[in-house]
A and B are shown apart, each in its own frame.
Chain A
């Protein structure tokens, strides 16, 4: 074997081994910064010395990167918390400006089951006027199927009689395109109101059930 081959044979197999056998990170930790314990990294690096290129520069860059992140970590955490709070306050402020509590009316969409209907989009008409449409992504559908509720529309509505009409599009059983419209005449009382547009399953009829309900 040549010198190169020998060097490869001894070092590369070892590098490959170290590089390939790492913990798989599949679970909810993925959402965390989840640094693997640092000591395991440094021990790996110690073993890889023989055929490492630019190791010093890489190590120095990594060390200073981690130091910088640590140095500003608390500040960034505080900033995130303050921005969350600011967003909440800004939303409350906009509601005060645009939707006084006496006339505010909010429309939500919920999925109570999704066995017989795969919701793709919604069109919402209020008193005959198309006021909101939404196309749902896979992620959004998944979130709704697990209990999430989508806030579709916020508006001002006077007390009295109104009509809401919703057009649903999606895939029914057997992946067939499915369209349906549902209407509701309702009385808006004093104070803010909620309207829930829901898609549920009728297990006995094996088909979806669409419903509008005022809360």
Chain B
């Protein structure tokens, strides 16, 4: 089961890898210097919350923060750069139509060079995501002038995906030479350039770039995976050119663990077999056959191992291997039955998306553990997880579930909103305030009486002392007046603060909107859940067909081996006459099956 778990994680790592790198790239694409990070105004604080979400790649909340900041008339949100960021978030959140409008509006305003170039780049990205290669290329052609390092990298990267003709790729290769090899994107650029060159038949340049990618393998786990892919690519180029020894060398360097190790082990075994190095093929196949039966490479490896033994003349081992394979395929088919039952359960689509999201976000301290059902089903979905159709449905569903959760949260809040309104309506002046008003009124009366007394006493004083007393009295009069005013204000507050009459209607309106959007979200989820179920079922069916086929092959091989053994035993009986003991063929320890 270790292989299962490992593979489940690896498959998710396949998805997580771009996300992790995306974080790195986001840091590059919107680098802000220390000086720029200083908060210089209230607007910076308000807008900082947009960036807080954006840099976490939480584009949904980033867009909400942006909308909120715009309502506060935040200057940064309304600036060209703010609009560019909004467009970027809209595009990343799967709202290309809105992003398209924002970018076009922005370009119509003829912004400064950097914003213009970034906007064209975003538009090119948008067209590429819609598979509109010509439009994407045309958008990239609009990028002019000196580009900051981060944008330059991004543009080159996109160019390798959009422009697949040899001349252009050579230009990209030249400009790549000017970029620092220490940039995190550099090995990916080289890899993609190599693949694109392979696509146009330039195998020499492709091999050269893939070889450069291999040199990054010691930098991180991510780059080790990429280097394994590059080595695999180099090996396949060598195999196609019939340079089996070179292919062999590349395959030997691929790690026996990790995302691409299964393919590599199988290719390694095949290359050995083609060079008649049967003994060398065995360890790779044995290692491979210890892994999950859900993997196509493992299934093929199981049948292949028996054939390698058979070809070597080790018939007993061959038979044992085929018997083991038969058992494993039966177990695999049983696992598939369980997987089918999981698919039929109600919560599968949500569970699938949640588990994938949890695995795709290993950096979050609250990252969740994957569920048991997911662990059973995931090894069968390795290929599916990498497919375009699955990704599109998964992304939409995942966002719809997030919206559903968000709206459910607001639905729960509706009771609180009503309670606030109700409490505000029933608000009265509390006892403390009333007591203070009464006390103040009594104090006022007492002070007024004392003032009269002082006034009378003043008249008993001589003129000089009266003058001094007048200043004191005047001061006391002013203090009394101040107290009078405050008391008057407090007495006027017979009723507490009342919320505007429009509030209940406003709250009701928003609650209606929540209910409407919830219904709408549920409708879309109801349309997409069967689609993802169907994709998973088709994938499981593929596994079933493959395993049934290999099971039949293993059984045929087993029968053939029994036949051979029986025939040999018969021949030996015929040649040596009737003997009480059956003899086994030389070099084998074949036993009669029970």
- A residues adjacent to B (C-beta < 8 A): 2, 4-5, 8-9, 12-13, 16-17, 19-38, 41, 53-55, 57-58, 60-66, 68-69, 72-77, 79-94, 96-98, 108, 110-113, 135, 137-140, 142-144, 146-151, 194, 196, 198, 215
B427 CB to nearest chain A CB (Å): 13
- Assess whether A54 is in contact with B545, with CB atoms less than 8 Å apart: yes
Knowing A20-B260, A24-B191, say if A31 contacts B535 (CB, 8 Å): no
- Assess whether B420 is in contact with A27, with CB atoms less than 8 Å apart: no
Cα distance A89–B260 in the bound complex, in angstroms:
48
Which A residues are CB-close (under 8 A) to B133? Answer: 37
Chain B interface residue bracket vs A: 35 or more
Contact of A28 among B31, B36, B154 (CB under 8 A): B154
Q: A83-B521, A85-B67 are in contact. List 17 more A-B contacts (CB 8 A).
A: A8-B304, A17-B236, A24-B188, A34-B128, A35-B391, A57-B541, A65-B393, A66-B389, A69-B393, A72-B396, A72-B524, A72-B528, A81-B95, A91-B64, A97-B417, A143-B51, A150-B52
- Assess whether B54 is in contact with A16, with CB atoms less than 8 Å apart: no
* B486-529 interface code vs A (CB 8 A; 1 in, 0 out): 00000000000001000100110010011001001100100110
**A-B contact list, 11 entries, CB within 8 Å:** A21-B232, A23-B161, A23-B195, A27-B21, A35-B130, A53-B545, A54-B544, A87-B67, A110-B39, A148-B53, A150-B49
Cα distance A137–B31 in the bound complex, in angstroms:
21
Which A residues are CB-close (under 8 A) to B128? Answer: 29, 34
Judge whether B240 is part of the interface by a CB distance below 8 angstroms.
yes
Knowing A27-B185, A108-B48, A148-B55, say if A54 contacts B191 (CB, 8 Å): no
- B residues adjacent to A (C-beta < 8 A): 17-19, 21-23, 25-27, 29-32, 34, 36-39, 41-42, 44-45, 47-49, 51-57, 59-60, 63-64, 67-68, 71, 91-98, 125, 128-131, 133, 154, 157-158, 161, 185, 188, 191-192, 195-196, 198, 226, 229, 232-233, 236, 239-240, 260, 263, 266-267, 270, 273-274, 300, 303-304, 307, 363-366, 387-393, 395-396, 399-400, 403, 406-407, 410, 413, 417, 420-421, 424, 499, 503, 506-507, 510, 513-514, 517, 520-521, 524, 527-528, 531-532, 534-535, 537-539, 541-546, 549, 553, 557
| Chain A residue nearest to B34 in the complex (CB) | A113
- Assess whether A148 is in contact with B545, with CB atoms less than 8 Å apart: no
- Assess whether A57 is in contact with B57, with CB atoms less than 8 Å apart: no
Cα distance A69–B534 in the bound complex, in angstroms:
13
Cα distance A2–B125 in the bound complex, in angstroms:
49
Cα distance A29–B67 in the bound complex, in angstroms:
24
Contact of A32 among B125, B232, B389, B541 (CB under 8 A): B125
Which A residues are CB-close (under 8 A) to B131? Answer: 35, 37-38
Which A residues are CB-close (under 8 A) to B53? Answer: 143, 148
- Assess whether B192 is in contact with A77, with CB atoms less than 8 Å apart: no
Cα distance A57–B521 in the bound complex, in angstroms:
29
Which B residues are CB-close (under 8 A) to A25? Answer: 18
Cα distance A8–B55 in the bound complex, in angstroms:
47
Contact of A84 among B23, B63, B240 (CB under 8 A): B63
Cα distance A31–B93 in the bound complex, in angstroms:
8
Contact of B25 among A27, A62, A87, A144 (CB under 8 A): A27
Q: Which of A74, A80, A96 has the most CB of B within 10 A?
A: A80
Which B residues are CB-close (under 8 A) to A32? Answer: 91-92, 125, 129
Contact of B94 among A16, A80, A97 (CB under 8 A): A80
Contact of B68 among A13, A37, A88 (CB under 8 A): A88
B53 CB to nearest chain A CB (Å): 7
Which A residues are CB-close (under 8 A) to B96? Answer: 77
A57 CB to nearest chain B CB (Å): 5
- Assess whether A21 is in contact with B198, with CB atoms less than 8 Å apart: yes
Cα distance A198–B60 in the bound complex, in angstroms:
26
Knowing A68-B527, A97-B420, say if A30 contacts B21 (CB, 8 Å): yes
- Assess whether B71 is in contact with A88, with CB atoms less than 8 Å apart: yes
A32 CB to nearest chain B CB (Å): 4
In the A-B complex, the 9 residue pairs with the closest CB atoms: A149-B48, A148-B52, A54-B542, A30-B18, A143-B55, A61-B538, A62-B389, A31-B92, A53-B545
A108 CB to nearest chain B CB (Å): 5
- Assess whether A34 is in contact with B51, with CB atoms less than 8 Å apart: no
B14 CB to nearest chain A CB (Å): 10
Knowing A17-B236, A57-B542, A69-B392, say if A24 contacts B192 (CB, 8 Å): yes
| Chain A residue nearest to B404 in the complex (CB) | A83
Knowing A29-B129, A91-B68, A215-B42, say if A68 contacts B531 (CB, 8 Å): yes
- Assess whether B537 is in contact with A61, with CB atoms less than 8 Å apart: yes
Cα distance A214–B17 in the bound complex, in angstroms:
41
Cα distance A83–B411 in the bound complex, in angstroms:
13
Q: Which of A12, A94, A149 has the most CB of B within 10 A?
A: A149
Cα distance A77–B395 in the bound complex, in angstroms:
12
Knowing A28-B29, A32-B92, A33-B392, say if A17 contacts B538 (CB, 8 Å): no
Contact of A27 among B188, B390, B535 (CB under 8 A): B188
- Assess whether A98 is in contact with B420, with CB atoms less than 8 Å apart: yes
Which A residues are CB-close (under 8 A) to B56? Answer: 139-140, 142-143, 148
Cα distance A114–B422 in the bound complex, in angstroms:
47
| Chain A residue nearest to B60 in the complex (CB) | A84
A22 CB to nearest chain B CB (Å): 7
Cα distance A108–B411 in the bound complex, in angstroms:
27
A73 CB to nearest chain B CB (Å): 8
Cα distance A31–B42 in the bound complex, in angstroms:
30
- Assess whether B266 is in contact with A196, with CB atoms less than 8 Å apart: no
Knowing A4-B307, A21-B236, A24-B188, say if A61 contacts B535 (CB, 8 Å): yes
